[in-house]
Each structure stands twice: as C-alpha cells, then as structure tokens.
Chains A and B, each alone.
Chain A
C-alpha cells in the first residue's frame, strides 16, 4: 500500500499506519545510532549507543512484524528494505546525520522524552492485546534511553566551555524538527478516536517541563518553542538525508535479495 497522503478506511489499516509510523521513527534513529558503533567517545558510550540502537531496531522489528502479519506481507524486511523514502513515515528529526556526540545525545533526549510520554499514554489507551504488549515492553527500555541521554545532557551542559557550546548548538539546530512530534494530522486524529493513538497535546506541557528543567539544570538556554517548525516528513516529504541513509541501509538486501546468513 502506498500510503502517501491517504487516510486509512478500516480500523486494521489505521493500526498498520500507526505501527509503521512508530516503527519507521525507531528504525531510522536506530540506524543513525548504529553509525556510532566503533566510533564512540569512550568504550562505555560505544556500547551504550550500540545498545540503544539495538533496542530501537528491536522495537521497529516487532512493530513491522505485526504490521506484516496484518497486511499479509512475508516479513518485517518488506518494510525496512523494500520501500523508498517517499513511503517512510518517520519524522525528520530521526533522519538527520548523526553529527557529533552532543548532537546525538540531544536528539536521543528529545526523542526518548517524547516517546516516554507517548508510550505511557498509549499503554492506557490501546486495546489491541499484541500491540499493547509491545508498548509495555518497549516502555521499560525507553526509560533507560531517557535516563542515559538526560545524564549526558547535564554532563555536557555543566561540563567544559566546549561541551556546553556543542550541546547548546545541537539543541538550537534540532529545535525546528521537534514540531513534527506533536503534529496531529487527520490520520492521527482518526486513529486517536479509535483508541489506536492519543492526542499528543494532552501532555505537551509535561514534556516541555521536563525539557525546560533539564536544560536549566544543565545551564543551557531553552530555544524558542514558537519558532518555525519543519513539517511534512510523516507524509513522505523528507529531508535530503533520508535517501542517502536508505541507499546504505537497503543496498545489500536489494542487490542480493536471496542472500542468507550462513
């Protein structure tokens, strides 16, 4: 199904759309984080980033697998490897190049704090047993990601002049990509009415409070929430970066579709 700007009609189509939105965010960010493997600033962080990447790809894999079952696709690889950038529903925040360590941490913090509130409310809302079970499972791991990134935001901000400058620059650069997390398009609204998604504006204030208190504790300046916000990635209008990421990620599977691990 090419879902570019189409609104699903049935509850099952809606569920698939939500599964793919959540999964695409996690696959793409997981891939970006995996680019750190072997390049971390210290051994513990190399392992930590690789672990978070594995979690994210694991979350995506479970969600894709469920979508594949609902849509009668062969397996989760169909979504990861055989769709083009226009069909990916991830927000732009997760596809931006990995940047320096401060950028990586700032992004992990923005994304995991958002995910924390989103999953917390989804768990209360979603009736589908399998989907809800996945959310509960992933929620436990999101807490680790949030704690990890928050600690490092503090250390950067309250560290040296250089680390402070780098993480401040990172937040300033990332800020215009945070708007998409809180967008409620027609699809999200209909899904929320069907208990498959939630109205994210319900807890935007709580999210802001967590961001504000953390950045203040880290002696950083909170950027302007009312600045211009990037939009459109959920509907296939991505930044130029996603195509390059997919070219690398999908190349092997597409060139050798029958390749197997031996």
Chain B
C-alpha cells in the first residue's frame, strides 16, 4: 500500500510542542494541556483545543500560533477547533511543565482539591504556597489576581520576595 501521508499524528504533536504560550514562554501548548486531540480528515488536519482561563487574551494568539506553526511545516489545511466539552484544569499540566514554571519564578499550581464545601470555607484559612525561590512555607497571599488571568500574587516572608502563583483551577 502506498503511504499517502508520510507525516504521522505523533509528529504533529511534536510540532505543536514547538508552540509556546505567549505569556509564559517556557511552556508549550502541549504540556499545558491545551491541545486535546489531533487527527487527519480528508487530507486536512484538525487540532482540537480547549481554552484555559476565560479571560485569557492569549487564547486567540495561541490559536494563530498553532496555525502558523503548521503552515510553516507545510500544512495549509489545518483547522483549529475550540471545544468546551472538557473543562481545562491545571491538573492537566505535566510535572515537567510545573517544574519549568518553578524555575521560571512562578509557583506552580498544586493538585486541585474538591471544593464542594466552598461556601463554608469562604471564611476559612488560605492554602500555603511555597516560595519558588527559597522553598519557604512562610508566604502570604497579597492578591488573588495578578498580572495575567492565570496568576495570583504572593509574598515570601522568608526571602522577602514577591512572587506569582499559577492559579489552581
């Protein structure tokens, strides 16, 4: 049988690993868990992505970057479909991605917890986020909102550095 399409889906995934998040350039869209599915369809290529934070202005840029990358690799008929069926969670980020975040100076998201008792916990204590610089647990929340939709602001009382925490959702 003649091989019609010499490029495999696995190779497409590798191409996509070259597309980085415009706001956090150390991370790529695959390890962020943004790309959910890749398949060929009538000679074209379809990439299914799911948005991260609703207010994230980078989502449009990410879609365009994916198209640009695939065009660069010779795929003129690649379409990107935004899908809401699955709800993105920071749990989809790979451990390697979380490590890279920490090295970049952003405290990575911890595992999400069941918060069905959210209302009773409204008055409760805040979770502890270790400092990405000195690993101290003596930190405190400055603001639940930071420089981008995905981050909140913390302060380390040990090394006296402000730092950002990737919101856990």
| Residues of A near any B CB (own CB < 8 A) | 44-45, 47-48, 50-59, 61-62, 66, 129-131, 133-134, 136-138, 140-141, 143-144, 146-148, 150, 210
Contacts and interface: CB of A to CB of B under 8 A. Distances in A.
Contact of B147 (A47, A133, A140): A47
5 contacts: A54-B55, A56-B55, A61-B54, A133-B87, A141-B54
Contacts of A147: 122, 144
A59 B84 CA distance: 12
Contacts, number: 78
A137 B88 contact: yes
Name B's interface SS.
loop
Contact of B143 (A47, A54, A129): A47
B85 to A, nearest CB: 5
Contacts of A50: 145
Most A C-beta atoms less than 10 A away, residue of B87, B88, B167: B87
A144 B84 CA distance: 20
A141 B53 contact: yes
Contact of B53 (A58, A66, A143): A58
B55 A58 contact: yes
B25 interface: no
A220 B58 CA distance: 41
A54 B149 contact: yes
Given A50-B145, A137-B84, A146-B122, 9 more contacts: A54-B54, A58-B55, A129-B84, A133-B86, A137-B87, A143-B115, A143-B118, A147-B122, A210-B119
B153 interface: yes
Interface of B: 51, 53-57, 83-88, 115, 118-119, 122, 142-147, 149, 153, 167, 169
Interface of A is mostly: helix
A65 B64 CA distance: 18
Contacts of A66: 84
Contacts of A137: 51, 54, 84, 87-88
A137 B118 CA distance: 16
B14 to A, nearest CB: 28
Contacts of A57: 55
Contacts of A130: 83-85
Contacts of A44: 142-143, 145, 153
Top 3 A-B pairs, shortest CB-CB distance: A54-B55, A58-B54, A133-B84
Residue of A53, A131, A141 with most chain B CB atoms under a 10 A cut-off: A141
B65 to A, nearest CB: 15
A120 to B, nearest CB: 9
Given A133-B86, A147-B144, A148-B144, A62 B54 contact: yes
Contacts of A148: 144-145
A51 B88 CA distance: 19
A47 B85 CA distance: 30
Contacts of B115: 143
A62 B84 contact: yes
Contact of A51 (B55, B118, B122, B169): B55
B49 to A, nearest CB: 13
Contacts of A58: 53-56, 149
A109 B88 CA distance: 26
A238 B85 CA distance: 34
A51 B148 CA distance: 7
Nearest to B123: A217
